[in-house]
Structure 1
Amino acid sequence: MSRPPLFQRATVTRIVKESSDARTFVLAPHDGPFSYRAGQFCTFRVDVDGTELFRSYSMSSAPETDGELMTTVKRVPGGKVSNWLHDNVAEGDAVELTRPAGTFCLRPTSAPLLGFSGGSGITPILSLAKSALATTDRHVRLLCADRDHASVMFDAVLNELTERYPDRFSFVRHLDDRGGFLDAAAVRHFVGAEGEADSYLCGPEPFMALVESALPGPGRIFSERFGAVAPTVPSADAPDSEVEGTVSIVLGRKKVSVPRKANETLLESARRAGLTPPFSCESGNCATCIATVTEGSATMRVNDALSDDEVAEGYVLTCQAVPDTGSIKVRYE
């Protein structure tokens, strides 16, 4: 199985204002509809003032309920890509993005589904909720935390789901400007007797940490993080010491080799060699930095983007892949 080209073009057919600072981009991929699962995301590639930048944004659509592919972007103060998309992309324009990726998806189960969203974290949570309601008999409840009423997203869609599934769906809004920041007691009150539910979390890191620590269990917890710091791999070697072997990298027409360094990822090796490979989240989520290992092997610290089949074929996330003993050769897509 050969992996399709990483970046593809899509036309923005509509732009929907979701809140004062969030827009949904309705996309028509040039090479035909994307196949995806609820909860996944696409990574956009944009040129901002001559610099190529990458950012990942989740789908707010679900394949079982929406005939169009929709990804929602919240404007972030100082965020180069989100602001560029808001200020420069109009209906009819073409954008470049990856095919959907990610493992923040539903698992086969009859357990209730609890969704916890902070701000724009509602985007993949909404996708999951729509899919679960349309394809299963599961009960779904969402706790949506927002800064204020102006920042609320998808209110009409959530109210419509409440009307369509009155016995299986409900949601609670928590506005920080009225009730203060969400606390552990509020999380446990929301969970109630459904501690065995699957809990899906997406939002700012402090919000995620709070909810994770407050959930009573024993249900499973699934978290979607963009930009989180990946854990390090324990090693007896000093972090910057050279170890036996060479890292050889092919990127476009450039081919370079550098001595291996202990605990250094393939992405870090490529940068040290003077290359500028693509990357975005650096946390094993988005697959922007994907490459193929053509000789040798590497172990990924985190992999939330590649399937088992793709890993078996030699694909790695270079931001997470650390070479095993010996030399290694890698080719970027």
Structure 2
Amino acid sequence: MSQQIVEIDSYLLPVVEVVEETRDALTVVLSVPEELADQFDYKPGQFLTIAVPSDTHELAARCYSLSSSPHDGGPLRVTIKRTAEGYASNWIADNLKPGHHLRVLPPAGIFSPKDLDDDLLLFAGGSGVTPIMSITRTALSEGTGKIVVFYANRDEKSVIFRDEFNRLSVEHPDRLIVVHWLESVQGLPTQDQLKAFAAQYSTFDAFCCGPAPYMKSVSLALRELDFPRERRHQEKFVSLGGNPFGDGFSVDTAEYEVGAYDRDGA
């Protein structure tokens, strides 16, 4: 994702549900009015940029990947994990509730399969599973290829979408393989271990999202296996500079809009 800031139209979407996924991760479910359906048409693996009120004079604009599928007719879902120093993730977890609203930019990003019929090798680390889940859900629904997910977490309690992966595996036993790697049991996956795993799927298209060290190890493992560049994909967010929502959009506006409809009785 580029650091260049281009002002584009933003939209206020209602929060219809906040789902607790794990002890430190939640999914925010956003409803899209029918008249905005075209603006929020998206590809699996894309993200939303969200405006969050800040405790400083600067707006907190953060990018969160969509975990929903664009083909199931459901609402938008963004899955967010608290981070120790993450102002926005903690603000959302502590304050957001159904009936609130969020101002967002339309879906963006290129972390998406070109062909849903391709065989996919998907590496996820921690909350990096969010776009991986979107891709998995969509490819199983709309594609024909095989899907292998390697999902690394700190421990069993940290596994986001555990039940959903189990359900999908039961429904698609001939197409979906999900491998869980727990640091508490197996230690951190090494480059050699990742290489040995990926070697079984050398003809697949590979996608990776997670912490930087994890993504680096996966990238190096795939390079050693001579995965061509066009079949290696990584999702990487950078800090936003400035206010992508436009100079006229302030912290006060963001704070008001989040709960305005509650306060106004609407």
What TM-score do the two structures reach when normalised by structure 2? Answer: 0.82
In structure 1, distance between residues paired with 2:43 and 2:7:
17
Q: Compute the displacement of 1:6 (Å).
A: 2.7
Q: Compute the displacement of 1:18 (Å).
A: 0.9
- Matched-pair contact (CA < 8 Å) for 1:61–1:69: yes
After superposition, the Cα gap between the structure-2 partners of 1:213 and 1:5, relative to the gap in structure 1 and judged at 3 Å, is closer
User: Which sections of structure 1, spanning at least 5 residues, go unmatched?
Assistant: 230-266, 268-276, 280-287, 290-333
Q: 1:38 aligns with which of 44, 65, 69?
A: 44
Cα offsets for 1:117-150 (capped at 9, x unmatched)? 1100000011011111111110000000001112
Counterpart in 2 of 1:318? Answer: none
In structure 2, distance between residues paired with 1:223 and 1:67:
26
Counterpart in 2 of 1:49? Answer: 55
Return the letter of the residue paired with 2:232.
I
Which of the two has greater strand per residue? 1
Q: 1:217 aligns with which of 222, 226, 231?
A: 226
Q: Compute the displacement of 1:26 (Å).
A: 0.5
Which of the two has greater helix per residue? 2
User: Which sections of structure 2, spanning at least 5 residues, go unmatched?
Assistant: 1-5, 247-266
Q: Compute the displacement of 1:109 (Å).
A: 6.6
After superposition, the Cα gap between the structure-2 partners of 1:192 and 1:66, relative to the gap in structure 1 and judged at 3 Å, is farther
Q: Compute the displacement of 1:96 (Å).
A: 0.9
Return the letter of the residue paired with 1:32.
L
* Greater relative contact order structure (CA < 8 Å, 6+ sep): 2
Counterpart in 2 of 1:22? Answer: 25
SS of the aligned residue for 1:210 comes to helix
- Matched-pair contact (CA < 8 Å) for 2:47–2:108: yes
- Matched-pair contact (CA < 8 Å) for 1:24–1:73: yes
Equivalence map 1:291-306=2 (5 Å): none
Q: Does 1:129 align with 2:136?
A: yes
- Matched-pair contact (CA < 8 Å) for 1:19–1:152: yes
Q: Compute the displacement of 1:187 (Å).
A: 1.2
CA RMSD of aligned residues (A): 2.1
In structure 1, distance between residues paired with 2:117 and 2:163:
27
- Matched-pair contact (CA < 8 Å) for 1:184–1:210: yes
After superposition, the Cα gap between the structure-2 partners of 1:185 and 1:66, relative to the gap in structure 1 and judged at 3 Å, is farther
Counterpart in 1 of 2:111? Answer: 104
SS of the aligned residue for 2:69 comes to coil
Q: 1:81 aligns with which of 77, 88, 92?
A: 88
SS of the aligned residue for 1:174 comes to strand
In structure 1, distance between residues paired with 2:70 and 2:116:
19
Q: Compute the displacement of 1:66 (Å).
A: 4.7
In structure 2, distance between residues paired with 1:165 and 1:82:
33
Counterpart in 1 of 2:169? Answer: 162
SS of the aligned residue for 1:192 comes to helix
In structure 2, distance between residues paired with 1:56 and 1:130:
21
In structure 2, distance between residues paired with 1:66 and 1:143:
27
Q: Does 1:145 align with 2:152?
A: yes
Counterpart in 2 of 1:205? Answer: 212
- Matched-pair contact (CA < 8 Å) for 1:199–1:222: yes
